A = this chain, B = another copy of it.
Amino acid sequence: MPAIKALIFDVFGTVVDWRGGVIRDVTQIAQARGADIDAARFADAWRSDYRPAMDLVRQGAMPWTKLDDLHRRTLDRLLEDSGLAGLGESERDWLNRCWHRLDPWPDVAEGIRRLKQDHVVAAFSNGNVSLLVGMAKRAGIPWDCIISAELFRHYKPDPEIYRGAVELLSLAPSEVMLVAAHNDDLCAAADEGLATAFVCRPGELGPSHLSNLTPAREYTCAPADLTDLAAMLGA
């Protein structure tokens, strides 16, 4: 294991259960409005527009747009054809912020606490800064810093965000480890010389989870979860 000084964590899926959190809040608002909504299907449809929406920005077809605003754009479209088409502005805003109210996986609190003792631990996400700050405050995740795509105006897996994170940390790429549950993210980090930890999160996509179950290439390590990673790093 190389000498790692900073750990940067992918957030959606790796640190927090986005699907469970979105289902919870869609269910709550549907029940309050007496609407008949398949909340799991709604959550999956919302997330399925995540990559295409960011790709519009990455390819220059849209100017820089915060993830909160990309989420809202998709939400408004999904609501049109749903039993929640009548939601007003404040309810839409509340629902859109469900992405700020996601719960961490059970191993996160102990894993981050241990890893933080001797390493810099940072959120490293396509989420905008205020989203990541709100999420961390609610969930009690004690990040040392927030490294968001918003700082570079480049979404993952653009190389600029990996290079930018290394530069902000004033470290060599090999001293920085990306912890993530997704092969595309890890491959882009490895291409920039970062260390990589693949954490499989089979619950991320619900019962139909079929992707990212195995490493696509040889990473620095493949811990079972964040407490296992802490043990591997002697924390």
**Contact between B151 and A137 (Cβ–Cβ < 8 Å)?**
no
Categorize the interface residue count of chain A.
20 to 34
**Contact between A145 and B142 (Cβ–Cβ < 8 Å)?**
no
**A142-B142, A145-B129 given as contacts; is B137 within 8 A of A170 (CB)?**
no
**Contact between B169 and A130 (Cβ–Cβ < 8 Å)?**
yes
Kindly list 4 other residue pairs between chains A and B, CB separation below 8 angstroms, not including A136-B144, A150-B168: A68-B170, A129-B170, A130-B169, A130-B171
Chain B residues with CB under 8 Å of A129's CB are 145, 168-170
In this complex, what residue of B is CB-closest to A131? B170
Chain B residues with CB under 8 Å of A70's CB are none
A124-149 near B? 1/0 per residue, CB < 8 Å: 00001110110011000011111000
**Contact between A144 and B151 (Cβ–Cβ < 8 Å)?**
no
Hey, which bits of chain A sit against chain B, CB under 8 A?
66, 68, 120, 128-130, 132-133, 136-137, 142-146, 150-151, 168-171
Chain B residues with CB under 8 Å of A133's CB are 120, 144-145, 169
In this complex, what residue of B is CB-closest to A68? B170
How distant is the Cα of A169 from the Cα of B171 in the complex, in angstroms? Answer: 26
The 15 listed contacts between A and B (C-beta, < 8 Å) are A66-B170, A68-B170, A128-B168, A129-B168, A129-B169, A129-B170, A130-B169, A130-B170, A133-B144, A133-B145, A136-B144, A142-B142, A146-B146, A151-B151, A151-B168
In this complex, what residue of B is CB-closest to A151? B151
Chain B residues with CB under 8 Å of A145's CB are 129, 132-133, 143, 145-146
Best-surrounded residue of A128, A129, A143 (most CB of chain B within 10 A)? A129
**Shortest distance between the CB of A163 and any CB in chain B (Å):** 14
How distant is the Cα of A131 from the Cα of B68 in the complex, in angstroms? Answer: 29
How distant is the Cα of A173 from the Cα of B129 in the complex, in angstroms? Answer: 16
In this complex, what residue of B is CB-closest to A165? B129
Chain B residues with CB under 8 Å of A137's CB are 120, 144
Chain B residues with CB under 8 Å of A170's CB are 66, 68, 128-130
In this complex, what residue of B is CB-closest to A134? B120
